Amino acid sequence: MAEIHELSAVQLRDALQAGELSALQATNHFLDRIEANNARLGAFITVTAAQARKDAAEADRQYALRARHGGTLPPLHGMPLAFKDLTDVAGVVTTHGSAALEHKPALADGALPAALRTAGVVSLGKTQVPEFGLTAYSENRIAPPSRNPHALSRSSGGSSGGSAAAVGAGLVPFAPGSDGGGSVRIPAAACGLVGLKPGRGLVPAGESSGDPARLVVAGPLARSAADAALLLDSLVPGPGRADASQHPPDGPGEAAPPAGSYLELTAREPRRLRIGVSLDSPWQAIFPFTPDREALNALADGVARLEAAGHETSEAAIRYDNRYPDAFTTAWTAGVGSARIAPQREALLTPLTRTFRRRAQHRSAAQLNESLEFLRQFQRDTLVQYSGWDLMMTPALAQTPRPVGWFTGAAHGGGYWPAAEWPGDADGDYRKQCEYAPWSSMVNVCGLPAISIPVHWTGGAQGNGLPMGIQLIGRMGSEGLLLQVAAQLGF
């Protein structure tokens, strides 16, 4: 057998279900890898080794009982994974990546860990995040930055950057992330993974309070479409999974509801699709940007792969309302404005968080409601424009994965700033993020599913450079189709 971390998540699931591996064997293997690699990678904030071994031993006990008395195992029996440190896991501190909060153990599991524990997983700990999940990089004041497993001088992205680094480095077989403006797709693209943001309402396990625009949804980070589908099957409850009828009507062109599990769907060829290709972004009016040559190369590789698979691609000119940046920023930062932070601890916030918190607190309820109404109209207008195609395609990122410290304007050594003033300019930081990932947030506003697929490497082949990807945006209910296309392209 291959090394345990070299198995796909599906292969590991099969080995655990068949009793070829015990849950404790798998857990110990990944804990050993975390111990050996996390100091240089910064993927984990907290490792819960003792509890993980206890949970794995209990999973093995349940396996032995079922072997003697019959019955079925949970679908992810004994599968190790980790949770972003934005969501509560009972008995474990939730830091939210912030030095300004008191770090106390959570009293109960949040919705996402509760659902996945029921599915049989073993949690190994909590992964690195930016403060309150606000940024496209995973650096904060409480732990070393999360680094890219393909180049340690580069960022793993954000806000699910620690989870992406852990999956990319083989510290866990897959991981759930959360995405409110690109936070699954950005780190997936930076780390060479498949990252799926489900459509609004499919996964009832959000991690964000204070989300008035309903931007945030949980989704899988994995090394393949099949592995992502395996995790998605346990994120979506009930027998109606992969059924587009779960979604409320969100505009023209709903996807037809597929039958079967998402994992089963990845084994089937998708129908021939019409795919619109666009570089248009709602950020370009306020932050004019030019995509890197490698981003354009990734897009060209995506076009070539899709056309070789029999799909039709054509240029799509999309017009976005230039009021979008202000409205999105207002909605995106509303939660940090209402976060409960003791006045004497405000100085411990990073400049970006502190700046946007202050601005959010100075906005009236009427201003927030005006922005939310605009975003609802933006959604309607954008869905009408997208309706001429089955899928929309953009680069996943406009630039190659950025150096650690690039957004804040400071180079990191091996550590972080636990007390000294965080360097950098909040508005410059935010602009860099919007230019780095200009095609992400509008998908959350529209409530649509989207997937990042690592079609390109800067060195010409995997392992010789940095990963670059494409983003495919689907209609409501098209999560299964997006996974099918990723699998068809060999991912």
Average pLDDT along the chain: 92
β-pair partners for 175: 221
pLDDT at 419 over 50: no
pLDDT at 71: 86
pLDDT at 416 over 80: no
Average pLDDT over residues 206-235: 91
pLDDT at 312 over 60: yes
Alpha helices in 154-217 (DSSP H): 161-168, 185-191
C-alpha 423/C-alpha 429 separation (Å) is 10
Query: Are the C-beta atoms of residues 473 and 393 closer than 8 Å to each other?
Result: yes
Which among 22, 84, 98, 478 is annotated as catalytic?
Answer: 84
pLDDT at 422 over 70: no
Q: SS3 for 98-154, per residue?
A: CCCCCCCEECCCCHHHHHHHHCCCEEEEEECCCHHHCCCCCCCCCCCCCEECCEEEE
pLDDT at 413 over 80: no
Average pLDDT over residues 185-214: 88
Look at residues 456, 437, 441 and name the one whose alpha carbon lies nearest to residue 398.
437
β-pair partners for 219: 177
Q: How confident is the model at residue 462 (pLDDT cuts 50, 70, 90)?
A: confident
pLDDT tens string 252-285? 445 544 567 999 999 999 999 999 999 999 999 9
In the chain, the amino acid numbered 84 is K
pLDDT at 302 over 50: yes
Lowest mean pLDDT among 51-55, 236-240, 434-438, 476-480: 236-240
The domain in which residue 160 lies consists of 4-488
pTM over 0.75: yes
Q: How many whole angstroms from its chain centre is CA 242?
A: 19
Q: How confident is the model at residue 58 (pLDDT cuts 50, 70, 90)?
A: very high
pLDDT tens string 423-444? 668 999 999 999 999 999 999 9
Q: What is the CATH number of the domain that holds 206?
A: 3.90.1300.10
pLDDT at 245 over 50: no
Is 146 part of the annotated catalytic residue set?
no
pLDDT at 415 over 70: no
Identify the H or E element spanning 23.
Answer: helix 23-41
Which among 138, 183, 281, 478 is annotated as catalytic?
Answer: 183
Which segments of 325-449 are extended strands (E)? 391-395
Which among 159, 163, 224, 261 is annotated as catalytic?
Answer: 159
Is 153 part of the annotated catalytic residue set?
no
pLDDT at 93 over 70: yes
pLDDT at 247: 39
Is 22 part of the annotated catalytic residue set?
no
C-alpha 177/C-alpha 184 separation (Å) is 6
Q: How confident is the model at residue 246 (pLDDT cuts 50, 70, 90)?
A: very low
C-alpha 394/C-alpha 406 separation (Å) is 24
Which segments of 370-460 are extended strands (E)? 391-395, 450-457
Average pLDDT over residues 245-249: 37
Average pLDDT over residues 349-375: 96
Domain count, the chain: 1
Q: How confident is the model at residue 295 (pLDDT cuts 50, 70, 90)?
A: very high
1 or 33: whose pLDDT is higher?
33
Q: What is the dihedral of CA 27, 29, 31, 36, to 10 degrees?
A: -170
pLDDT at 244: 39
Question: Which residues are CB-neighbours of 302 under 8 A, at least 6 positions away?
Answer: 393, 453, 455, 456, 470
pLDDT tens string 386-407? 999 999 999 999 999 999 999 9
Average pLDDT over residues 27-54: 98
Query: Are the C-beta atoms of residues 312 and 270 closer than 8 Å to each other?
Result: no
Query: Are the C-beta atoms of residues 445 and 295 closer than 8 Å to each other?
Result: no
Look at residues 267, 373, 258, 269 and name the one whose alpha carbon lies nearest to residue 323.
373
pLDDT at 260: 78
Q: SS3 for the chain, per residue?
A: CCCHHHCCHHHHHHHHHHCCCCHHHHHHHHHHHHHHHHHHHCCEEEECHHHHHHHHHHHHHHHHHHHHHCCCCCCCCCCEEEEECCCCCECCECCCCCCCCCCCEECCCCHHHHHHHHCCCEEEEEECCCHHHCCCCCCCCCCCCCEECCEEEEECCCCCHHHHHHHHCCCCCCEEEEECCCCCHHHHHHHCCEEEECCCCCCCCCCCCCCCCCCCEEEEEECCHHHHHHHHHHHCCCCCCCCHHHCCCCCCCCCCCCCCCHHHHHCCCCCCCEEEECCCCCCCCCCCCCCCHHHHHHHHHHHHHHHHCCCEEEECCCCCCCCHHHHHHHHHCHHHHHCCCCHHHHHHCCHHHHHHHHHHHHCCHHHHHHHHHHHHHHHHHHHHHHCCCCEEEEECCCCCCCECCCCCCCCCCCCCCCCCCCCCCHHHHHHHHHHHCCCCHHHHHHCCCEEEEEEEECCCCCCCCCEEEEEEECCCCCHHHHHHHHHHCCC
